[in-house]
Amino acid sequence: MAESSHATQVHASILNTVDVNVFNDRISSQLPVAKNHPGPKCVAISSNSRPKTIFRPPISAARKSYTVRYKLQVLAYLHQASIPDGTQSANQLRRPTLVETSHQFKIPVPNISRWKLAESKLLTRVGTERRSRIGKRKWPVLEKELYDAFQAHRKQGKIVRRGFFRIKAKLLFQQYHPNEGVFRFSNGWFNGFLNWYNISLRFGTNKATKIPMDLFNTLVNFAQFNRRNSQIREGDIPATIGRYQLRNICNMDQTPLPFEFLSGQTYNLKVFADGRNYVKPLIFYRGKGLGAAVLQEMKEYDPQVVVKFNPTAYANSSNMVEWLQEQLIPILENHPTLLAVDLFSGHRTEDVLNTMKANDITVSVIPAGCTSIVQPLDISINRPFKELLREKIEEGEERMIEREEALVGTGRRLAGSKVGCRRIMTTWAIGEAWEEFCTEWQEVIIRSFTMVGLSLPLDGSHDRSHLSLKGVDMERFMEDIQNWQVGGIENTGDEDNEEIIPEAEDNSEAIDYVVGPLRTEE
């Protein structure tokens, strides 16, 4: 009985993401119901008759793997959802059948049957599963063992410094690749390894600790570059921050949508130092964006977002140039602009850089490993926005499920494919979430730019009261960035950097490495 009670509680918590009571008129209006086809209409079944069995073609697998939580969500729907029983009485409800559950989630019946048999085991694993990222690395066996050793070290409660990775990697290299010469602990390899296994840097909160000197110098270089390029030039009209108005100091970042059923979709946000919203969010869906159904679907997208299709769901050079010309450049009003971007290659192609240069946009590339320190979107904005977006997405998904349930037994269905309906719903969720965020969190956006120094007066008069970088010796940092005339070489962001990382600060107490969830396959 205890196990049954626990299962019921887990199902109830998971079903909260599936079952809702009300529709949102705005979203519902974007998901029109398909018209009935001409011909004989279905005759209502009397209340004392047994519902007719609807035979549908079996569902073929639409995807290759599912998380434990998603499996339990499907089983929760099978066990606890209530759907119309097909009679004339609106109050007659019943549980869905295995076949109906299969069609609801587009999952083959055999899969659901296996999950049902293994349900007790799934209940013990909820919240613990991680999916491995599939792909190729230069030394996959070495890196996998290095990651396992790192995890074991962290599980024992031990702090992991960079020196741990260097020593362990050298030993594994000698074991697996004895004939390949000397192991090179390079920036390119180590950063790629950390990114591949989603290993995070955690900065100490003790103000006496400092980040490694090589990272400190990189941050100083970045700040000097921004200060030097913000100075008023011949022919410039003096503005709020040197040659830049606050509305012309901005940061851009692209992020995957953090929801399983929306895998293969990303969104691109842009924030401005005055905290106002000038540019629509940019959404990328995976695919070609062709066909009559997709073209019809596009008419239902929220007009407050821009949607692009491409094979990877990440911005490429042509997408970026098109977006710059259509969205960003028109709102700059021919004023000089400072744009901070990360190392993503789509931001730094020749066509993109030429377009920016032609419109007096200075590109400030945030150095590798520094986005969590000096990128406004990362330090203050992405986390609260994702929480808000999650609420909007889940509400939209729940409305879709309830609307589908309401149509069971009526002979009607939602217009278009389920994927298309979700894409429509996602555009409205992102549009609403971003509009709400920019209104309620404007001061947070403004403060994120001052904290990293992008929108502070160039004379340094506000550095001491506003500048704040975690893990950084701020006294020395503020002193060094004043020497912007001789520093600030632009960071090229070479991801194949083979420069050997020095051992001097391998055991810096300012940084240790922590386990993050493994990335899902792209």
pLDDT per position as a tens digit, 148-198: 998 888 787 777 777 888 888 889 988 888 888 877 777 678 877 877 776
Query: DSSP code of 236?
Result: P
Percentage of the chain surpassing pLDDT 70? Answer: 69
Cα(230)–Cα(239) distance, rounded to whole angstroms? 10
Q: How high is the pLDDT of residue 473?
A: 85
Question: Does 60 score more than 60 pLDDT?
Answer: no
Asked whether 295 and 272 are in contact (CB, 8 A), the reply is no
Distance (Å, whole) CA 135 – CA 433: 33
Cα gap 162→173, rounded to integer Å: 17
Residue 407: both structure tokens together? 């149509």
SS percent in the chain: helix, strand, coil, step 5: 45, 10, 45
Q: Cα–Cα distance between 344 and 226 in angstroms, integer?
A: 19
Domains within the chain, CATH numbers bracketed:
68-124 (no CATH), 140-197 (1.10.10), 213-482 (3.30.420.10)
CB 133 within 8 A of CB 521: yes
Average pLDDT over all residues of the chain: 75
Asked if pLDDT for residue 126 goes beyond 60, the answer is: no
pLDDT at 88: 58
H/E stretch holding 433:
helix 418-440
Tell me: pLDDT of 36 over 70. no
Amino acid at 45: I
445 Cβ contact partners less than 8 Å away, ≥ 6 residues apart = 271, 272, 275, 376, 380, 381, 438
What pLDDT score was predicted for residue 130? 40
pLDDT at 211: 65
Evaluate whether 471 touches 210 at the Cβ level (below 8 Å).
yes
Q: Which residues are paired to 361 by β-bridges?
A: 337
Rounded Cα distance between 420 and 425, Å, is 9
The pLDDT value given to residue 54: 40
Which amino acid, 54? I
Q: Per-residue pLDDT for 118 more than 80?
A: yes
By the 8 A CB rule, do 273 and 449 touch?
yes
Closest-CA residue to 211 (of 220, 198, 224): 220
Q: What local confidence, expressed as pLDDT, does residue 128 receive? A: 45
Q: According to the model, what pLDDT value does residue 182 have?
A: 79
pLDDT attached to residue 133: 40
Report yes or no: 377 and 251 within 8 Å, Cβ to Cβ: yes
pLDDT of residue 445 exceeding 90: yes
Task: Report how far residue 482's alpha carbon sits from residue 487's, in angstroms, rounded to the nearest whole number.
Answer: 9
β-strand partners of 511: 203
pLDDT in tens, 453-466: 999 999 889 999 99
CA-to-CA distance for 203 and 3, rounded, in angstroms?
Answer: 42
Question: Which structure tokens are listed for 12?
Answer: 């109830």
| Predicted local distance difference test score (pLDDT) of residue 11 | 57
Residue 221, pLDDT > 70, answer: yes
pLDDT at 423 (0 to 100) = 87
- Choice among 400-404, 444-448, 468-472 with the minimum mean pLDDT: 400-404
Kindly indicate the confidence band of residue 513, based on its pLDDT and cuts at 50, 70 and 90: low
Query: 340 pLDDT exceeds 90?
Result: yes
> 254 or 375, which is more confident?
375
| Overall size of the chain counted in residues | 522
Structure confidence at residue 249 as a pLDDT band (50, 70, 90): very high
* Tens digit of each residue's pLDDT (9 = 90 or more) over 40-59: 554 443 444 434 434 445 55
In the block, tokens 């490993």 appear at 369
Structure tokens that stand for 505 in this block: 């600060």
Q: Is 290 in contact with 310 (CB distance < 8 Å)?
A: no
Give CA–CA dist 304/434, Å, rounded: 9
For range 382-405, the mean pLDDT: 84
Q: Report helix, strand or coil for 249.
A: strand
**Structure confidence by residue, pLDDT tens digits, 473-508:** 888 899 888 887 755 444 444 444 455 555 555 555
Residue 427 burial (10 A CB sphere; 0-12, 13-18, 19+): buried
Residue-by-residue DSSP string for 441-464? SHHHHHHHHHHTTTTS-TTSTTHH
Q: Which residue has the higher pLDDT, 187 or 274?
A: 274
Place 430 in a pLDDT band, splitting at 50, 70 and 90.
very high
- Ranking 29-38, 345-354, 367-376 by mean pLDDT, the lowest is 29-38
Give the type of residue at 233. R
Token pair belonging to 310 = 């491409």
Which tokens is 512 given?
């240790």
Does the structure show a pLDDT above 50 at 132? no
The model's pLDDT over 66-103, given as tens digits with 9 standing for 90+, comes to 777 778 878 888 887 777 776 655 567 788 888 888 88
| pLDDT value at residue 377 | 92
pLDDT digits (tens, 9 = 90+) for 352-362: 888 998 999 99
Sequence-ordered strand ranges (E) for 10-105: 83-84, 93-94
**Do the strands 361-365 and 511-514 form a parallel or antiparallel pair, or are they unpaired?**
unpaired
